[in-house]
Amino acid sequence: MSDLKKLEEDILKAVDAAEDEKALEDVRVAALGKKGSISELLKGLGKMSPEERKEMGPALNGLKTLVGDAITARKEALHDAAIEARLASETVDVTLPVRAAPLSEGRVHPISQVWDEVTAIFGDMGFTVEEGPDVETDYYNFEALNFPEGHPAREMHDTFYFHPKEDGSRLLLRTHTSPVQVRTMEKGKPPFRFIAPGRTFRCDSDQTHTPQFHQVEGLVVDETTHMGHLKWTLETFLASFFETDNVEIRFRPSFFPFTEPSMEVDVRCARLGNEIRIGEGEDWLEILGCGMIHPNVLKSAGIDPERYQGFAFGMGIDRIAMLKYGIPDLRAFFEADLRWLKHYGFQALDMPTLDGGLSS
């Protein structure tokens, strides 16, 4: 019996010393497994005399129950301790500010925001949105828009040309979105009222110019449109875009091959240091170009200029974004600086709407 007492003490000591469930399982197998110390003793009961079996049977079964209960109790204690340790390691200090979610951290680029603002304004005025390819032919980029041979805009220092083809023709990166006007008129019939936003490319780079930039051009063609409609359209757009009721514009004579007459448009503004405020002050700022569509452009699209007329206008999306949101350098739009984007960007759910406010 002294041997059983010693075995009991050793097993219970091993149970208490088990630091995890794996170590405890090893103790259980060593004591109660098929070849465990207690199991081996229980197998020997059959070889004992009735008197020995009467004494050892209850003692061994009692030891087996005692060890089993001790192991169960230790297992529960280890499980509770593991939970406590996990809770301690995953404690959240609710007094700290909540971490910003990805949706609130992400930013919409000012170009994308202004693109949507322009689309929302002209969409409310009944304009559709048309698109065209970035890689253009000389015909759509120049010839169909009444650019004569030898025009400076055709030169290499202004235009990105691809290598010549076998027939000598060369594709190019479009220098404006005006080719969309011809492409859209070719595949439809008047009347037309659409805008054409998109990327454009020219060999230029400084604080207010980049080799790639964005433009939006508008076109209206029907039998009755005149310059009064053009002026109203531009005033309405500028008032909505800059969110002011005091927009005043003036036309200055200019020249564009695809319009006749052609005008540069200035908007009244105030210059306060580096800040430009549209709709107030006594200064003027050139903001876009426009004019009545040249008859040759209508002919190129298969439209009778004796019956139809219209107007076109174009402006830089990047430039009006700089004016509205006080961005000083155009080159920063394309540098992918997250600090800049976090400062000038917009919340992902700040969708521009006319009733809710374009820039709210």
pLDDT in tens, 220-275: 999 999 999 999 999 999 999 999 888 999 999 999 999 999 999 999 999 887 78
Condensed to tens digits (0 to 9), the pLDDT of residues 116-141 reads 999 999 999 999 999 999 999 999 99
Q: How many angstroms separate the CA atoms of 71 and 18, rounded?
A: 10
Which option is the CATH number for 110-344: 3.40.47.40, 3.90.105.10, 3.30.930.10, 3.40.1080.10?
3.30.930.10
Condensed to tens digits (0 to 9), the pLDDT of residues 281-304 reads 889 999 999 999 999 999 999 999
Backbone phi, psi, residue 227, to 5°: -65, -25
Considering the chain, what percentage of its residues have pLDDT values greater than 90?
Answer: 46
Q: How many angstroms separate the CA atoms of 272 and 249, rounded?
A: 19
What pLDDT is attached to residue 50? Answer: 78
pTM of whole model > 0.75? no
DSSP string covering 225-278:
--HHHHHHHHHHHHHHHTT-S---EEEEEEEETTEEEEEEEEEEEEEETTEEEE
- For the chain, the average pLDDT equals 86
Confidence of residue 306 (pLDDT cuts 50, 70, 90): very high
Q: How many angstroms separate the CA atoms of 286 and 279, rounded?
A: 13
What pLDDT is attached to residue 200? Answer: 94
What pLDDT is attached to residue 185? Answer: 96
Domain ranges of the chain: 2-89, 110-344
